[in-house]
Chains A and B, each alone.
Chain A
Amino acid sequence: MDLFLNRVFDGLEQGITYGGIALALVLIFKATTLINFAQGELAMLGAFLVYVLSVEQGLGVWLAIPVAMLLSALLAAGVERTLIRPFDPADHLPLVIITLGLFLVINSAAGIIWQFNPRAFPGIFPSGNALRIGEATLTWNTVCMVGSVLAVLLLVELLLNKTKIGLAFRAVSSNLESSQLVGIRVGRTLQLGWAIAAAIGTFAATVFVARPILFLEPTAMLRVLIFASAAAALGGLDSLRGAIVGGLVVGLIQSLVVGYIEFIPNELSLTIALLVILGVLLVRPAGLFGTARVERV
């Protein structure tokens, strides 16, 4: 029981990270039906910005995080304007290649600037245990990670559902051509989506690498991106809440499988998670919370 609970708590920490990155992926997917493969690397870059601002420049970490979120949002807005907008939004393959290229560029650039050796990242949440059940401990770190990412989800939902710019964003997601016909400047709206996604990613990556057992390195988000994509698919690619739920499910499966099935090494846990997702998608092709698209002809 204690092992089980510990595994669950550990799975929550990983899962909420996947959920956070998946949230960023879903935000862009909703509007463009495009998976931004560079999302994880943008997030890693954001976490390095937090590191530079706090550890190297001496800014308080809770000041460094919003500044880094803003900087990565600006960077992503620039990327959207220069690398994405000039291309036909309906033609996905070139855009996928561009995001893959961006993935490599950011990864290499981070390697050149910060080298590939892992760095200890300052803890950002209070240490200690929030709850102890037998030998199992739920740390404040877990609680705060889950809570803060859920708060981000809530903010994004408020922005999309309660503001005029959010309505414009949902309109663009629903019908790009008609959005222009009501006077929405589609390019700028999508740019805002990229910026918000990057800020969310930076936050998720920061709380992830700030886990006591983890380090910051340019490869920190490689695996996370794959798990997050799986989480987004499981949740239903166009559902914000689905992204978080999908992330938690993937994190929990991964954590429990490694804990209980001994012949499966850690490296194979992804495969197990993907098998589960495959099963779910066979039954529900649109994912757990996704909307099945109906085309009227």
Chain B
Amino acid sequence: MSASTDVTEPRRLLEVHDIRAGYGPVRVLHGMDFHVDEGEVVVILGANGAGKTTTIRALCGMIETTGSVKLEGEELVGLDTADIVRKGVAHVPQGRGTFPELTIEENLSVGAFVRTDNEIRDDIEAWYEMFPVLGTRRKQQAGSLSGGEQQMLAVARALMSRPSVLFLDEPSLGLAPMLVADLFTKFGEINRERGTTMLVVEQNAQLALGIANRAYVLESGHIVNSGSADELRADDSIRKAYLGV
């Protein structure tokens, strides 16, 4: 690598090459390449059935996958989900994936399951500050939270592991538009203030592109377009298909 200019090359955090995955005989991903640099928010846009959730599940080793997924140079394909998480991946699945029978505080504690340092308590308090509604209900069961609150808890729970990259699977799904806008504002805030690298799959292009540095467009298991968020916002086909203008 030649670092001839004074602009430091961003560090490549996640490098995905030719991943193919599916469910049994049904192939969903037909060879995808993309990457995420440190500190970036990258969005994968796609309609229903394009393979967005499958992509995230493939990265996390939750379905059979071939190809290569490198996190900071380390190969993840072939590892168990729990081990991939231990390498520094956090994933907020579709439908939030909180632990409904555990309290909010226990949800956050278990989010730090892989950690052994003694700053877990401080982190929990920091998340209560970021999402005050969680702080006022720490002893309540997570199942009693509303959809939007569950999503906040899910994100905080995921970041309790201090991951190097956070995957968000359609965080807007099933939430009221105003809540979704608030959430995305928070995601942007978390990214700027903490430098958390994020990979978001979404069909709400408007919101997702609003916080993203770059984006890929996924159709039927292929990446058909990519570029900076601004480029894609200006792209006619994207405007027609995803922005409704």
A residues adjacent to B (C-beta < 8 A): 164, 167-168, 170-171, 173-175, 177-186, 291, 294, 296
Contacts and interface: CB of A to CB of B under 8 A. Distances in A.
Nearest to B106: A167
Given A173-B101, A175-B99, A182-B157, 20 more contacts: A167-B102, A167-B106, A168-B110, A171-B99, A171-B102, A171-B106, A174-B100, A175-B97, A178-B99, A180-B62, A180-B81, A181-B60, A181-B91, A182-B113, A183-B82, A184-B110, A185-B80, A186-B82, A291-B101, A296-B143
Interface of B: 60, 62, 80-82, 85-86, 90-91, 93, 97-102, 106, 109-111, 113-114, 143, 147, 157-158, 161
B100 A182 contact: no
A175 B98 contact: yes
Contacts of B62: 177, 180
B91 A171 contact: no
Contacts of A183: 82, 85-86, 113-114, 161
8 contacts: A164-B113, A171-B99, A174-B99, A179-B99, A180-B85, A181-B81, A183-B86, A183-B113
A265 to B, nearest CB: 43
Q: Closest 5 interchain pairs by CB?
A: A183-B114, A183-B85, A174-B99, A180-B81, A178-B97
A177 B82 contact: no
A170 B60 contact: no
A174 B161 contact: no
Contacts of B110: 167-168, 171, 179, 182, 184
Nearest to A180: B81
Contacts of B102: 167, 170-171, 174
B114 A175 contact: no
A181 B80 CA distance: 10
A190 to B, nearest CB: 13
B190 to A, nearest CB: 18
Contact of A175 (B100, B147, B161): B100
A183 B158 CA distance: 10
Contacts of A174: 99-102
Nearest to B100: A174
A184 B111 CA distance: 10
A180 to B, nearest CB: 4
Contacts of B80: 180, 185
B83 to A, nearest CB: 8
Contacts of A181: 60, 81, 85, 90-91, 93, 97, 158
Nearest to B144: A294
B97 to A, nearest CB: 4
A177 B92 CA distance: 11
A167 B102 CA distance: 9
A25 B156 CA distance: 34
A232 B8 CA distance: 63
A291 B141 CA distance: 12
B54 to A, nearest CB: 15
B166 to A, nearest CB: 11
A237 to B, nearest CB: 14
A184 B99 contact: no
Most buried by A among B80, B100, B106: B100
Contacts of A171: 99, 102, 106, 110, 113
Nearest to A185: B82
A180 B114 CA distance: 11
